Structure 1
Amino acid sequence: MSERDEPPLTSVRAFEAVARLGGATAAARELGVSPSAISHQLALLDDFMRQPLTRRQGRGLILTDAGREYFRSVRTAFAVLRGATDQLREGSRSTQVRLGVIPLFARAWLFRNMQEFLDQNPSIDLNVSYTHHRNYVSDSADLSVRFGDGNWKGYEAHRILSGAMAAFCSPAYLALHPDVATDPKLLQNYALIHDQDRAGWQQWWDMHSVEGEPPNGLLVEDGNLALQAALEGLGIALLRPSLVDVFAREGRLLRLFDPVLEDGRDYYLCHLVEQPLSEAEGRLVRWIVDRCRHSR
C-alpha cells in the first residue's frame, strides 16, 4: 500500500471514537478537541473513502451500512493497539494471551470449560475478543478459533471440533408442532431459521430429497443468533451438535433427526506459523486441543 492509499489516521481515530461512543460530542470530549474538529475529520475520511461513513439523524450521527462494516475492522485494530500498549506499559507481555473466538464457540464451549484452565494457570491473563468470521485477515489475536476448511495462509490450524449440522428446535416448538419430528419432508411447512444465508437448509433439503426450495424464514447473522432464536421457539435451526448438544442434554433443545450434514467446514484453533508461541500461548493451545478431544 502506498502512502497515498493509507487512510488519514487522525480521521480514523475520530471515526472510531464517534462510532464507539455514539456521537461527536462524546468523541470530542475524549480526544480533547472541539465537535467541529471531529466533524471536519469525518468529512476528510468520507472524502478519502469516496462514500459517507456517517450521516445525520436529528441532532446526532449514525453509521451508514459502509460505516458499520468499516467499524468492525477499525474497532478490532484499535483494541489490538490498546492491548499491545497496555502489555508493554505493564511489562506483562509473557503472561497475557489474546484469544479471538466465534461467539457461539465462546458461549457453548469456552466459557463452560474455562474455569479449569484459569485454575490451572493463575498467572496467565486471558483476553477474549470476537473473531470476525467474515474477515479473518483483520483478526490480530495471538490465537483464534475459526470456522472453515482449515486453510488460512500463514496460519497453523488445529482441528478441534466437527462442523457437521443437524436440525434442532425447542421443546416448546415441538409441543406445538409434533409432526416436525416425524418426516424431514414436513419441515417445508414450518418456520426455518437461516444462519448467514439460505444455503445450509438447501443442502439439508437435497440430502433428504425434499422437493422444491426451503421456505424463507428468519435470517440471522451467525450461529449464536440461530441458537438463541431456536431456544426462544422461533423455529427450526441447523446447528452444530459438537457445540449445542450441551443444550439438548439440559433439555433446552431437541434434535429432530439423526443424520448430520457435512459441508466440509469445521472448527479450528489457529496461530501464525512465523510467530513462535509463548509459553502461555502454548499452554492454552494444548489445553483447548486436549479438552475438545475429550468432549467429542
Structure 2
Amino acid sequence: MPRNLPLLSYLRAFEATARLGSVTRAADELGRTHAAISRQLQLLQDQFDAPLFDKAGTGLRLNEDGATFYATVTRAFDLLEECYHELKTGRSEASVHIACSATFAMAWLVPRLGEFYRLRPGCRVELSMSSTARDSGMSRARDGVDMTLSWDRLSRPVVQRHFVPLGPVSFGLVSAPDYPFRSEGNGSSFPVRISHGHMDGQWTNWQAATGHEISASDELCFPHVHLCVSAAVAGLGVALVERRFALKELQSGKLVQRSEFLTFNDGFVAMMNPARPLSPAATAFLNWLKAAFSEEQI
C-alpha cells in the first residue's frame, strides 16, 4: 500500500522556508526560483486544506499547525541526514583512492593487490591513472584522491607536498643483449635512446648526477614507461628506466644492465592530500605499502 505523504520536494520547500523565514532565501538555498518554491508551498497547504504560515512583514511565520508539522519534518530530515552521512562515511572509510602512473599500477601494484585484500578483505582500492608519476597527479584527480604515488625523482627531484617516504628508486640504462652499445671511459654511445615523452630532463639529469656522458644518434619517445621497456626488449634502443619496472626483463635476460644505477633513497613517496584526512582504509593501505617496499628485493 503506498504511503500517504506529500512529495519530498514540497517538504523540502516547506522546511527551508520555515527555517529561513523567507521564500526568497529558501529558493536560493535549494537552487529553485521564487515562483517554484511558492507553488510547492501552496500545493502542500492545499493538501492540508489549511494554511501553515502567516504573513510577517515581508516574510513568513509558521502558525500553530505549521510549527507542529515543522517539528516533525525537522526530526525526520535530521534522521535521514544522520543515516545518509553514516552510510557515506562508512563507505568512504572502506575504500582508498590512489593516483599513480599506469606503469606502477600494472608492473607493481595490481599484481600485489591480492595480498592487501587478504589482509583487509573489507577494503577496496580505487585507482586513478596519471600519465606520469609527477606531482601533478594529485591536482589531476582532485580532492577525491587520498594519496598520489610518485617516483620520478629524475624529472622532479623535490617533492613539494606533504609526503611519506616508501622506498628507494634507482635509474639506469638497459637494452636488449644484442643491441649495439659501446662504452668508453665515463661515456657510452649507441644508435637510439628511448625516452618517456612526459618526463622532461631525465637523460640530462641522469648524466649530470652520474657523470656518464651519452652519445646517441636518434631518439624514440613513448608515453608510458612500460612501453619504453617493451621497446628496449624489442631491440629498438637503449632505455633509461627505474629498475623495478624492468626487473622481470633483467632477471629473465631479455634486457641487460648497461650502466650503474643511480639511487635516490626514499625516492618513492606517497604524497598525501591535505584536504582529505586519512580514513582507516587509507591508513591501512599506506602501512601495507611501507611494509611491501621494505620487504622488496630489487
TM range (shorter): 0.5 to 0.7
**Partners of 1:204 and 1:151 in 2: how far apart?**
18
Shift of 1:107: 2.0
Shift of 1:245: 2.1
Match of 2:175 among 149, 164, 169: 169
Supply the AA of the counterpart residue of 1:276: P
Are the structure 2 counterparts of residues 270 and 263 from structure 1 closer, same or farther at C-alpha, using a change threshold of 3 Å? Answer: closer
Are the structure 2 counterparts of residues 236 and 89 from structure 1 closer, same or farther at C-alpha, using a change threshold of 3 Å? Answer: same
**Partners of 2:88 and 2:170 in 1: how far apart?**
44
**Partners of 2:124 and 2:199 in 1: how far apart?**
37
Return 5+ residue gaps in structure 1 as ranges: 1-86
Query: What's 2:97 paired with?
Result: 98
Query: What's 1:82 paired with?
Result: none
Are the structure 2 counterparts of residues 168 and 219 from structure 1 closer, same or farther at C-alpha, using a change threshold of 3 Å? Answer: same
Whether the aligned pair in 1 keeps the contact of 2:226 and 2:245 (CA below 8 Å) is no
Query: What's 1:138 paired with?
Result: 140
1:235 aligns with 2:237: yes
1:159 aligns with 2:165: yes
Which SS does the other structure have where 1:112 is aligned? helix
1:291 aligns with 2:292: yes
Q: Which protein shows a greater Rg?
A: 2
1:113 aligns with 2:112: yes
Are the structure 2 counterparts of residues 273 and 260 from structure 1 closer, same or farther at C-alpha, using a change threshold of 3 Å? Answer: same
**Partners of 1:185 and 1:110 in 2: how far apart?**
35
Are the structure 2 counterparts of residues 264 and 132 from structure 1 closer, same or farther at C-alpha, using a change threshold of 3 Å? Answer: farther
Query: Pairwise mapping of residues 172-191 of structure 1 onto structure 2 (< 5 A)?
Result: 174-177=177-180, 180=181, 182-183=183-184, 187-191=188-192
Shift of 1:274: 5.0
**Partners of 2:217 and 2:212 in 1: how far apart?**
15
Match of 1:251 among 243, 250, 253: 253
Shift of 1:284: 0.3
| Structure 1 residues 124-170: Cα deviation after superposition (integer angstroms, max 9, x where no partner) | 121112135453422331122123445334x3x12223333100112
Which SS does the other structure have where 1:93 is aligned? helix
Give me the identity figure in percent. 17
Q: Let me know the Cα RMSD of the aligned residues.
A: 3.3
Alignment size in residue pairs? 202
Query: What's 1:280 paired with?
Result: 281
State which drifts further: 161-170 or 114-123.
161-170
Are the structure 2 counterparts of residues 236 and 285 from structure 1 closer, same or farther at C-alpha, using a change threshold of 3 Å? Answer: same
For normalisation by structure 2, the TM-score amounts to 0.57
Shift of 1:105: 1.3
**Partners of 1:283 and 1:197 in 2: how far apart?**
31
| Structure 1 residues 58-80: Cα deviation after superposition (integer angstroms, max 9, x where no partner) | xxxxxxxxxxxxxxxxxxxxxxx
Are the structure 2 counterparts of residues 242 and 176 from structure 1 closer, same or farther at C-alpha, using a change threshold of 3 Å? Answer: closer
Return 5+ residue gaps in structure 2 as ranges: 1-85
**More strand by proportion, 1 or 2?**
2
Which SS does the other structure have where 1:105 is aligned? helix
**More helix by proportion, 1 or 2?**
1
Are the structure 2 counterparts of residues 197 and 129 from structure 1 closer, same or farther at C-alpha, using a change threshold of 3 Å? Answer: closer
Query: What's 2:61 paired with?
Result: none
1:221 aligns with 2:229: no
Which SS does the other structure have where 2:261 is aligned? coil
**Partners of 1:186 and 1:199 in 2: how far apart?**
18
Query: Pairwise mapping of residues 28-67 of structure 1 onto structure 2 (< 5 A)?
Result: none
